[in-house]
Amino acid sequence: MHVPQFSSRQFAKGSIAILATIVLMRLLTLPFPDLVDSTEGRYGSVAKIMLDRNDWITPWINLRGVEVPYNGKPPLHFWLMQISYLLFGYTSFAARLPGVLSGIGIGVLLGFAGRVRLGITAGYTAAIIFASSTIAFFLAGAALLDTTLTLGTTMSIVGFLLAEKRRGPGSLQVSNVWGYVAFVGAGIGMLVKGPLAVVLPGLIVVPWMVILRYTTGKWPKQFAALPWIAGTLLFLVVAMPWYILAELKTPGFLEYFFISENFGRFFKKEYGDVYGSGHRQPFGAAWLMMIPALVPWSVMLLFWFAARYKQVFSKSSVQKIVVDPDLLFGVLWATCCPFLLLGARQYTGTYIMPSIPGFAFLGAVLWARFVEPDEGALRFSYKLTRGLTVLLAAVTFTGAIIGVTMYGTPGALAACVIAVAFLYVASLYVNRAQTSPIKEIGRLAVCTVMTYALASVAWNNHISNNRSSRRVLELVASLSKPDAQIRVGFPVYFPFSSTFYGPLHQSPSLTIVNLEDPQIPNADVDVLVVRNRNEKELLGIDPTLSDKKLAEIGQWNVYRGTGKGLK
């Protein structure tokens, strides 16, 4: 395969088009599916309750039917959701929009850092790798705070890396303002999730400086270039006022937040989480989570390692990492979360998100150092991208068939998905003789993101029916008298999304009630809604309900209660 010459300008134009396409697809798919329980439903309702109460200091949560202060997270992401609600209303689009904007910010930071340290093509490569990775695409379109936290940590990390006064490629002048950006980013992270925003950059920066000090005999210039005093004051100005106000308004917040939420999960299996149940993970699970999180680029990297394992796993490779500041920085950034989570007892897969920009930066370094200058490596990478495109087409085709046969995907939509899978293969033959790196990278990135977008739409019905409460609440409304005041009881399992969607119903008006086991037989509710997996338990508590089943949708079963509000 001949590898023609390409210019940085062509690469930049193509990259901008690819990134714009990815952002557009993410925006178009934001409404799908409904807010998913439990986390999306929880955060969506926390921001809604804060706005309803006009409270911009204390996050609130509907816990077991009672609104109580939510001391588990700081409010910055909830503030962004509140602003989005004010602009676009109480919709899943509005709840998820802050994540997209945070993702765009991360991509811009990565692109600039890559351009300054490695060159234009590497900068755009980093942005594309990040934007088209599985976890980045989906979390950027979720009502979760992980992407906003990652924006804060990325600001800190990139700000530190660029704090060194230097001139970038061409006439690009790097301002010393980046040192202040590092501290502002830490403050933003503190307002999103707490001290983790300081710990994660520290896990990268401190080992990086120590290793370079050992190998070169000098501390990196960034250490002296950082505005330590002014930056620390700036960090305190950004982060500390809210923590003081929160403790004054809700005494005991600081103790619970710092001791239980941030340190307890690393040392105890049961650390006192009062807002939900933790997710226990096997030792080292975060390392395995990185593989699906970084598809398709993790698969490409694994194939590369397999084909060149003698070069990759050699002493010379370790030496190259240690003596190359950018390569070392990328390795530390990409692995900081898996290393930190080695000691954690409970966490979810989303906790690895702050390492994803690091992997993208590492990919850009590998591109600049080992692929772009080597025609043989370029040819090999082209073969990998083409092979992965064919594999992606097969996965897309199979997913469409599974969706139709098992999960209720409409046939017309499945036909469109299958047609797109064939287009992936057909794209391999378009301008085959005029290939270039940006065409090969762009094809794989766009095809991957297209699959994610199609999956969001094609699996919308299944996820919305089974992992959210909006549709079952609409079903309850259709069974009720017009203008009635309907009390909806959720026994055994309480979906947080119901406190988001339920109050939005006006006619009939829906009031959401959480029922404890002793309350169920005599509950003053019009309907009881229970999941399939909990239905047997419910009927064991109140056998009289066995003849009162009204309807079902997805995993939800609707039973008649003691009220008179139904038709």
**Helix 297-307 and helix 285-293, axial crossing angle in degrees, nearest 10:** 110
Q: CA-to-CA distance for 67 and 52, rounded, in angstroms?
A: 12
As a dihedral over the C-alpha atoms of residue 342, residue 346, residue 351, residue 352, rounded to 10 degrees, the angle is 30
- pLDDT number for residue 91: 97
Amino acid type, 140: A
| pLDDT digits 0-9 by tens, 94-110 | 999 999 999 999 999 99
233-259 as b/e, with b when 16 or more CB fall inside 10 Å?
ebbeebbeebbeebeeebeebeebbee
- Which of 284, 290, 270 lies closest to 342, judged by CA? 284
- pLDDT number for residue 9: 84
**Three-class SS string for 214-229?**
HHHCCCCHHHHHCCHH
Q: Which has the minimum average pLDDT: 161-170, 385-394, 458-467, 557-566?
A: 161-170
Q: What pTM value is reported for the model? A: 0.94
- pLDDT number for residue 175: 64
- pLDDT number for residue 293: 97
Question: Average pLDDT of the chain?
Answer: 91
Q: HSE (CB half, 13 Å, CA atoms) of 17? A: 11
Q: CA-to-CA distance for 61 and 143, rounded, in angstroms?
A: 15
Q: CA-to-CA distance for 12 and 446, rounded, in angstroms?
A: 16
- pLDDT number for residue 170: 47
- pLDDT number for residue 408: 78
- pLDDT number for residue 241: 97
Strand order in the sheet with 556-560: 509-515, 485-491, 527-531, 556-560, 549-553
Average pLDDT, integer, range 148-177: 79
How many residues belong to the chain? 567
Q: Is the model's pLDDT at 259 over the cut of 50? A: yes
Strand segments, DSSP code E, in 17-144 are 60-63, 66-69
- Which of 22, 281, 291 lies closest to 131, judged by CA? 22
Helix (H) or strand (E) holding 413: helix 411-427
| pLDDT digits 0-9 by tens, 291-322 | 999 999 999 999 988 887 777 677 777 788 88
Average pLDDT, integer, range 430-442: 83
With 0-12 / 13-18 / 19 or more C-beta atoms within 10 angstroms meaning exposed / middle / buried, residue 78 is buried
In DSSP terms, which residues pair with 530 in a beta bridge? 557
Q: CA-to-CA distance for 306 and 267, rounded, in angstroms?
A: 37
- pLDDT number for residue 73: 92
Which residue is it, tokens 């419910």?
538
Distance linking the first and last C-alpha atoms of the chain:
71
Q: CA-to-CA distance for 220 and 164, rounded, in angstroms?
A: 8
Coil vs helix vs strand at 90: coil
Coil vs helix vs strand at 395: helix
Q: What are the backbone dihedrals phi and psi of residue 276, each rounded to the nearest 5 degrees, phi first?
A: 170, -170
Give the pair of three-digit tokens for residue 144. 């979760």
Q: CA-to-CA distance for 461 and 176, rounded, in angstroms?
A: 50
Q: Is the model's pLDDT at 280 over the cut of 60? A: yes
- Which of 514, 347, 496 lies closest to 42, judged by CA? 496
In DSSP terms, which residues pair with 515 in a beta bridge? 491
| pLDDT digits 0-9 by tens, 264-279 | 555 555 555 556 556 6
How many separate helices (H) and strands (E) can be counted in the chain? Answer: 26, 7
Q: CA-to-CA distance for 136 and 133, rounded, in angstroms?
A: 5
Q: Where are the domains of the chain?
A: 31-373, 469-560
- pLDDT number for residue 160: 95
Q: Is the model's pLDDT at 342 over the cut of 90? A: no
Query: What is the 8-class DSSP label of residue 373?
Result: T
Average pLDDT, integer, range 180-197: 96
Q: What are the distances in angstroms from CA 268 to CA 200, 226, 258?
A: 21, 37, 14
In CATH, what is the architecture of 469-560?
Answer: 3-Layer(aba) Sandwich (3.40)
